[in-house]
Amino acid sequence: MEELTCCISLFHRKIQNCTARRWGSNHRRISDQQLGAEYNLDVTFSPEWEWFNVSRPLEYASDLDDKLVVLDFFTYCCINCLHVLPSLHQLERDHSIEDGLVIVGVHSAKFDNERVSSNIAAALQRYDIAHPVVNDAQLVLWRRLEIACWPTLVILVRFPGKLCRLDARRLVLSDSGHHRLLVTDNSGAVLHVIGGPTAGFLDGKLGESKFSSPQGVAADGDVIYVADTENHAIRKVDLQAGLVETLAGTGQRGDDLEGGGVGRAQVLASPWDLCLVGDRLYLAMAGSHQIWALFLRDGTLFGKRPCPAGTCLRVAGSGQEENRNNSYPQRAAFAQPSGLTWDAAGARLLVADSESSSVRQVALADGAVRAVVGGARDPTNLFEFGDVDSAEGPARLQHPLGVAWSAADAALYVADTYNHKLKLVLADGRGFSCRTLAGSSRGDQTGPLLEAQFNEPGGLLAEPAGDRLLVADTNNHCIKRVDLATGTVDELDVRMTRDSPDRPTQAVTSSATVRSAVAHLFKSRVLLSASGWSAAPAGPFSVPLTVQLHAPPLRSGDAVRLRLHAQLFLCSPAGLCFPRELTFELLVEGDD
């Protein structure tokens, strides 16, 4: 498939009021088969908008469960939009609705002529566009989703599981429901998409590799280690080489409780999270209720057992599903460990042990397993769960899936998944205290910490400075940010835009000149709201854009507030056009 020249945005807010249903390859009507449940993207199609290639206006609501949804924002005169069409057609041929792909066109007109329904209908026939298309004539959805250019493909993030840092500027997200990884910058702009959209088990180039519901991720420079959970494997992604390879696991669930094999010869059972400590990778092996290690270089286990590079073996846990603490690691037992973090000062792993609703610790010197918070005294009792902070009695959690240690403030943060909260655990003279940090009830709400809402948060990342947490809010299909300094929660917009120009800036001089440093200007206009005043660009549109304001005489002491509204189409040499609407308020005062 040829490389697409387009902008790509990935969103995660709640989709409402749009239904997509299966259409056959030999006709252009939607049939009656529904596709599933609600996504988490704020897309609302207005009831008065007109639809094409469907028998009625579409509504999302509950129809896009387990589907990869692509919204194609286009206008039919745009040459790059036409260049994208063969790739979209190929995607539809290769991946049907049954395979999990849904494409919906959102026609976002540039010219007045392109808003006319009959003209859009003719263009769809001319270019053989058979998937559903909606006419967003006034660019309502375009503005709401902050679309930047034609064409833009919007892809929905689904059930993020875990996240980690590559470095101070880049994040890695496991987009588990789409069987892929996303590498983003700190603003959420996507730099790499690895794997997806369907499940598989395939090494090779980044764009050709396949994963199956990946969860835990850990990074070392430009190398990402992945717990490929439903492939029962550990994968390595080398961003510099552009390759994916399998380090351990066969693609099939194994029942080995000891390990010791090297590389792909060693079977695994549902690895759920990873923690990189030096030259070994620790695994939360949920399927066998154990903690394992993968040696990236030659080493020894507990200073005794030699382990050549590539060896993968048990560190702690008998394999029995229990909440059993013990100084002998082989006699200890876990119950579906699902989250790992590393306390370097304490030389210990901290484990979210989900089925015992507890947090446990493993000493890396000798493998001794001890309790931290939650769980029952009886190691066979896995039903001692709840939502209780330690100030009110013995702390109780409910199926925690994520933990993050912050060395900056010696604090442990817990994703208390089924309580839809984040908990803070601190050491005190009696052991550990536990209290609710953020979250109130199941929902999707930002704002103050104890008013915010999560829906089964599953992954946590504590920023090194100790001032912020990032949360994979799994059932809300988003990444939330917890600002510990301000005590607020907001969302990280996951998106990717290619070839975006610099944001236009303003400079006001005595001649009231507004300059915008862009590559090219096209079909732009400037509107001025002030009686007796007018605005006109100086000569042909050029860079910088100079707008002359023509004004009646002002006497000393007179003042007028101007509202200058610019509608600009900024086009790059590559042919991508970025609509911009800018409003400036200028206070102009008369002088002698």
Residues 391-405: pLDDT tens digits? 888 999 999 999 999
Of the pLDDT bands very low, low, confident and very high (cuts 50, 70, 90), residue 3 is very low
Length of the chain in terms of residues written: 592
Distance from the first to the final alpha carbon of the chain? 67
Distance, in Å, from the CA atom of 571 to the CA atom of 152, rounded to the nearest integer, reads 14
What is the reported pLDDT for 197?
74
**Phi, psi angle pair for 368, to nearest 5°:** -60, 135
Q: How many CA atoms lie within 13 A of 33 on its CB side?
A: 7
pLDDT value at 410 more than 90: yes
Instruction: Specify which of 234-243, 486-495, 515-524 reaches the highest per-range mean pLDDT.
Output: 234-243
Please give the structure tokens belonging to residue 483: 């600002």
Q: What would the DSSP string read from start to end of 318-333? A: -SSBS-B-BSSTTT-B
Q: What is the pLDDT of residues 442-470, one digit of tens each?
A: 999 999 999 999 999 999 999 999 999 99
* Residues in Cβ contact with 136 at an 8 Å cutoff, skipping those fewer than 6 apart: 49, 106, 107, 108, 142
Task: State the DSSP H helix or E strand holding residue 480, giving kind and residue range, or none if neither.
Answer: strand 478-483
> Where is 568: in which H helix or E strand?
strand 559-571
The pLDDT-based confidence of 513 (bands split at 50, 70, 90) is very low
The confidence score (pLDDT) of residue 70 equals 82
- 8 Å CB contact between 470 and 402: no
Q: In a 3-state reduction of DSSP, which class is residue 188?
A: coil
To which H or E segment does residue 91 belong? Answer: helix 79-94
Chain segment 526-566, per-residue pLDDT in tens = 555 556 666 665 444 555 556 666 667 777 777 777 776 66
pLDDT for 11 equals 40
Place of tokens 């409910």: 398
Radius of gyration in angstroms for the set of CA atoms belonging to the chain, rounded to a whole number = 28
**Percentages (nearest 5) of helix, strand, coil residues in the chain:** 10, 45, 45
Task: Provide the pLDDT for residue 524.
Answer: 52
Whether the CB-CB separation of 518 and 499 falls below 8 Å is answered with no
Best CA proximity match to 243, nearest among 197, 213, 208, 200: 208
Q: How far apart are CA 389 and CA 435, in angstroms?
A: 5
Q: Rounded to the nearest 5 degrees, what angle is found at the Cα of 559, between the Cα atoms of 558 and 565?
A: 150
What's residue 262's pLDDT? 96
CA 439 to centroid of chain Cα atoms: 20
Inform me whether the pLDDT recorded for 507 exceeds 80.
no
Contacts (Cβ under 8 Å, ≥6 apart) of 337: 272, 273, 284, 285, 286, 289, 290, 291, 317, 351, 352, 353, 354, 360
H/E run at residue 472: strand 468-473
- CB 316 within 8 Å of CB 296: no
Residue 545 burial (C-beta neighbours within 10 Å; 0-12, 13-18, 19+): buried
Angle CA(124)–CA(130)–CA(132) in degrees, nearest 5? 90
Q: Is residue 299 a contact partner of residue 280, using CB atoms and an 8 Å limit?
A: yes
Distance CA 554, CA 589 (A): 7
Task: Provide the pLDDT for residue 452.
Answer: 97
Beta-sheet pairing, 101-107 with 68-74: parallel
Q: E strand or H helix at 140, and its extent?
A: helix 140-144
